[in-house]
Amino acid sequence: MSERFGLAEFKDRVDTVLAAVLAEEAEQFLAIDDALRPVAEQLQEAARHGKRLRAAFCYWGWRAAGQPDSDALVRAAASMELVHAAAVVHDDLIDDSTLRHNLPTAHIALRAAVPGRPRARAAARSLAMLVGDHLMALAGQLFATSGLPAAFLARARPVWADLARELIAGECLEILSTGTHPDPDVSLKVVRYKTAKYTVEQPLLIGGLLAGAAPRLRAGLSAYGLPLGEAFQLRDDLLGLFGESRRTGKASLDDIRGQRPTALLATTWQAALPAQREHLAGVLGRRDLTEEHLRDVRELMTALKAPERVEDMIASRVREAVGCLDGLDMPYPARRALTDLARLATDRHH
């Protein structure tokens, strides 16, 4: 890899690793029974998309500790994307989302595998759940067989355990708080545990630990990674409601229909007058939402300056994250890459 970070070049390397791993896994499934073809196809499809930011943060955690470019490290970093693929399959299943990357989500696509069956919808959802479970298992397998020395892998194992626990805890917190009155503190806790930590902070720490990073550097990577991860998800929440579906690849009504505890919704609720809250409560959670409902909610949020407030939250977190890089002892290419990644992760239009 060139000394100046290029995400496209890095993405190609990660994509190559993932394509090979999942093609081999699909063959193993088909060797058991050809009836498993739809499942094998969804294993491959689930990890086909994405900017590979999580792998990039893992890679630059390694480089920040002074280690050189390494194909084995890229394989280990690619496992972060299998964690993400697993989380996406489960998240779409929990939220009953129908679109991802402008394609049917796994539990929707798998309905074609059980046509005309009793309880076909439940069967497709069960298949998707198992696809997500297996992707998480494959993430651990890819990490363990990356080619890095066993002593290196052992240093990162505790953070792997933290990653799995906190990702599940964040998802559970979201489920438990969905449908309740929006609360900014709860929303930010969900943001932190469901997305921020496994997207930025923990991949960085895993890369740093693999490289033998000193405690001070690890603390600096955490101080950079946590606010940046929160900013990433806050941007995602804004795009989820105000982005164009054809560009985001998701249904814009999902967050309102699901009454999800996003920071955007909590900020709106906090700023709203009683009559505005009553109007909003009459829309949230409805299954028969239309584009007119979406326009009404967007107009209310805009009138209450909720998107502006979330933009301010994003900007302040990015400044905090990048500011944490100052004073950290790391090679210039790593500092430059982490600065670039802060912008790439949060300055998204789709």
Q: Is residue 68 part of a domain?
A: yes
User: What's the rounded Cα separation, in Å, for the pair 16 and 248?
Assistant: 24
Cβ neighbours of residue 52 closer than 8 Å, sequence gap 6 or more:
7, 10, 11, 14, 15, 81
Judge contact between 94 and 190, C-beta under 8 A.
no
Instruction: Give a yes or no: residue 323 inside a domain.
Output: yes
In a domain, 172, yes or no: yes
- Backbone φ, ψ for residue 180 (5° rounding): -90, 175
For the segment 258-310, what is each residue's pLDDT rounded down to a tens digit?
777 789 999 999 999 999 999 888 888 777 888 888 888 999 999 999 999 99
Which parts of the chain have pLDDT scores under 50? 1-4, 350
CATH of the domain at 307: 1.10.600.10
> How many domains are contained in the chain?
1
Query: What percent helix, strand, coil does the chain show, rounded to 5?
Result: 75, 0, 25
pLDDT (tens digit per residue) in 211-269: 999 999 999 999 999 999 999 999 998 998 888 766 666 666 777 777 777 899 999 99
User: Residue 342 and residue 200: Cα distance in Å, rounded?
Assistant: 10
Structure tokens at 134: 């297996």
Cα distance between residue 278 and residue 162, in whole Å: 40
> What is the pLDDT at residue 319?
97
262, 254 Cβ separation under 8 angstroms:
no
Domain-embedded: residue 2? no
Neighbours of 176 (CB within 10 A): 12
Examine residue 272 and state whether it is found in any structural domain, yes or no. Answer: yes
Q: pLDDT at position 3, please?
A: 41
- Whole-angstrom CA distances from 245 to 102, 287, 331, 339 are 8, 18, 40, 29
Task: Identify the bridge partners of residue 99 per DSSP, sorted by sequence position.
Answer: 104
Residue 1 located in a structural domain: no
Can you list the positions of beta strands (E) in the chain? 99-100, 103-104
Q: Largest Cα–Cα distance in the chain?
A: 63
Distance CA 201, CA 133 (A): 23
* Parent domain of 180: 7-346
What does R_g of the chain's alpha carbons equal in angstroms? Answer: 21
Instruction: Check residue 349 and give its pLDDT.
Output: 56
What was the pLDDT predicted at 282?
86
Q: Is residue 12 part of a domain?
A: yes
